[in-house]
């Protein structure tokens, strides 16, 4: 506000100087009879039309004033455009900071859960296995019933530990993504959602031309589907979810793309529709980090979905 007030003050001061200089120049011209002097100087050279110089100079001054006004308007438009861009940049930076804080919070929460499970599950069960093993070692071996009961207890606790470890690994890394590929890993993920939400119909269509994608693209597509299904469970109240993934031919940049679409028939999410949900922001950030495009879409008559275009920068040919 102070800057704008200072600019207006300087503009008024410059205008006063222009008016004062013009008045002084008018007095000087009148005292020197400048027009008569110029006319007397140009009259002998009428054939050169030198007497038209004042008019030409006046036109040039007006033309320069018009040129300056156009440049000023363009400069104002450029300033407004830059201000809008800076505002959007500030908004994006705020979203990035909020997303970074949320990612750190989620990461620390996941670490806390894993640490608790390692302590409560693995630690205690391993200690129990050790106690049973010590009892079997120190026993006389004559009581077969006691030996059998100890062995059964060790087997039961080992089975439980395997389940706990498998669940931890599943949370840290999608099951089968490395060995079986992306389609199988997605099918396994969707099968889990089918068990949790039996009233929802999940369909997935993967194009036959989907080749062996690079590691980053694989995990990004998997996390997009995972987050999309999480949004369905939290907000959509849907009865049908469609997942379509296909590869598109090279674009004008000469890079092929993988197109992923997730669409439901539910009520949608206000947070997702306004692009304010951190889940949506996280998906957009994942896609844009790979120089891809991310678009939200609401289906006609209800439902919500998104489409992501991911360039295949380093796809491996099988």
CATH number of the domain that 248 lies in? 3.30.565.10
Per-residue pLDDT, 253:
63
Model confidence at 272, pLDDT cuts 50, 70, 90, reads: very low
Alpha-carbon distance values, 96 to 51, 108, 219, 284 (Å): 68, 18, 21, 11
Residue 318, domain member (yes or no)? no
> What torsion, rounded to 10 degrees, do the Cα atoms 246, 252, 255, 256 define?
10
307 with 205, same domain? Answer: yes
Mean pLDDT, rounded, for 116-126: 79
Residue 81, domain member (yes or no)? yes
Alpha carbons within 13 A on the beta-carbon side of 212: 6
Contact 297, 280 (CB under 8 A): no
23 with 133, same domain? Answer: no
Residue 242: give the domain boundaries: 182-311
CA gap 47, 64 in Å, rounded:
28
Q: 315 pLDDT exceeds 80? A: no
Contact 182, 221 (CB under 8 A): yes
Q: What are phi and psi of 263, to 5 degrees?
A: -135, 135
Q: Taking the CB of residue 287, how many other CB atoms lie within 10 A of it?
A: 22
In the structure encoding, which two tokens stand for residue 85, read together? 């861009």
Torsion 285-287-292-294 (CA) sign: negative
Contact 231, 306 (CB under 8 A): no
Q: 79 pLDDT exceeds 80? A: yes
305 with 187, same domain? Answer: yes
Residue 283, domain member (yes or no)? yes
Per-residue pLDDT, 275:
44
pLDDT, mean over the chain: 79
**Length of the chain, please?**
318
- Domain end, chosen from 38, 72, 96, is at 96
CA gap 92, 100 in Å, rounded:
12
**pLDDT: which is higher, 40 or 3:** 40
Residue 177, domain member (yes or no)? no
274 with 192, same domain? Answer: yes
Q: Please name which of 295, 294, 240 lies closest in space to residue 267, comparing C-alpha atoms.
A: 240
- Domain end, chosen from 112, 147, 172, is at 172
Model confidence at 277, pLDDT cuts 50, 70, 90, reads: low
Q: How many domains does the chain have?
A: 3
Q: Taking the CB of residue 231, how many other CB atoms lie within 10 A of it?
A: 25
Question: Which residues, at least 6 apart from 216, have a Cβ–Cβ distance to it below 8 Å?
Answer: 290
With pLDDT > 90 as the criterion, what percentage of the chain qualifies? Answer: 12
Can you list the pairs that 284-292 forms with residues at least 24 positions away whose Cβ atoms lie under 8 Å?
285/96, 285/99, 286/220, 286/223, 286/224, 287/220, 287/224, 290/216, 290/217, 290/220, 292/257
Q: Tens digit of pLDDT for each residue in 260-269?
A: 999 888 776 5
- Domain end, chosen from 139, 172, 205, is at 172
Q: What are phi and psi of 247, to 5 degrees?
A: -100, 140
36 with 143, same domain? Answer: no
298 with 204, same domain? Answer: yes
Highest averaged pLDDT of the listed ranges 24-28, 169-173, 248-252? 24-28
With pLDDT > 70 as the criterion, what percentage of the chain qualifies? Answer: 83
Q: Please name which of 222, 210, 211 lies closest in space to residue 177, comparing C-alpha atoms.
A: 222
16 with 84, same domain? Answer: yes
Question: Which residues, at least 6 apart from 202, have a Cβ–Cβ distance to it below 8 Å?
Answer: 190, 193, 194, 241, 243
51 with 151, same domain? Answer: no
pTM for the full model?
0.56
Residue 138, domain member (yes or no)? yes
131 with 194, same domain? Answer: no
Mean pLDDT, rounded, for 142-149: 75
CA gap 9, 27 in Å, rounded:
27
165 with 246, same domain? Answer: no
Per-residue pLDDT, 4:
61
Model confidence at 317, pLDDT cuts 50, 70, 90, reads: very low
In the structure encoding, which two tokens stand for residue 230, read together? 């999480």
Question: Which residues, at least 6 apart from 220, have a Cβ–Cβ distance to it below 8 Å?
Answer: 286, 287, 290, 310
8 with 90, same domain? Answer: yes
88 with 110, same domain? Answer: no
In the structure encoding, which two tokens stand for residue 165, read together? 């470890």
Q: Tens digit of pLDDT for each residue in 14-66?
A: 888 888 888 888 888 788 777 777 777 767 766 666 667 777 778 888 899 89
Residue 25, domain member (yes or no)? yes
Residue 76, domain member (yes or no)? yes
């Amino acid at each position: 506000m102070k800057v704008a007030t200072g600019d207006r003050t300087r503009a008024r001061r410059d205008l006063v100087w222009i008016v004062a200089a013009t008045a002084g120049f008018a007095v000087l011209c009148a005292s020197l009879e400048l027009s008569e002097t110029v006319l007397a100087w140009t009259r002998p050279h009428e054939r050169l039309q030198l007497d038209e110089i004042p008019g030409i100079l006046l036109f040039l001054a007006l033309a320069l004033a018009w040129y300056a006004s156009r440049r000023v308007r363009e400069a104002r438009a450029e300033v407004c455009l830059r201000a809008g861009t800076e505002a959007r940049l500030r908004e994006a930076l705020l979203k990035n900071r909020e997303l970074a804080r949320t990612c750190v919070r989620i990461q620390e929460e996941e670490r806390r859960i894993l640490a608790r499970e390692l302590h409560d599950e693995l630690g205690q069960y391993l200690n129990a296995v050790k106690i049973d093993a010590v009892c079997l070692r120190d026993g006389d071996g004559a009581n077969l019933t006691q030996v059998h009961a100890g062995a059964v207890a060790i087997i039961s606790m080992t089975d439980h530990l395997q389940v706990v470890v498998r669940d931890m690994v599943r949370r840290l890394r999608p099951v089968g993504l490395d060995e079986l590929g992306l389609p199988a890993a997605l099918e396994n993920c969707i099968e889990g959602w089918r068990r949790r939400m039996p009233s929802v119909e999940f369909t997935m269509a993967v194009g036959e031309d989907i080749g062996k994608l690079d590691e980053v693209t694989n995990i990004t597509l998997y996390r997009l589907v995972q987050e999309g299904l999480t949004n369905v469970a939290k907000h959509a109240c849907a009865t049908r979810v469609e997942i379509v993934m296909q590869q598109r031919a090279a674009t004008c940049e000469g890079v092929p793309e993988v197109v992923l679409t997730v669409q439901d028939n539910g009520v949608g999410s206000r947070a997702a529709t306004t692009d304010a949900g951190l889940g949506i922001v996280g998906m957009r950030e994942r896609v844009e980090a790979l120089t891809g495009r991310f678009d939200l879409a609401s289906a006609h008559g209800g439902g919500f979905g998104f489409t992501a275009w991911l360039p295949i920068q380093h796809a491996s040919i099988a």
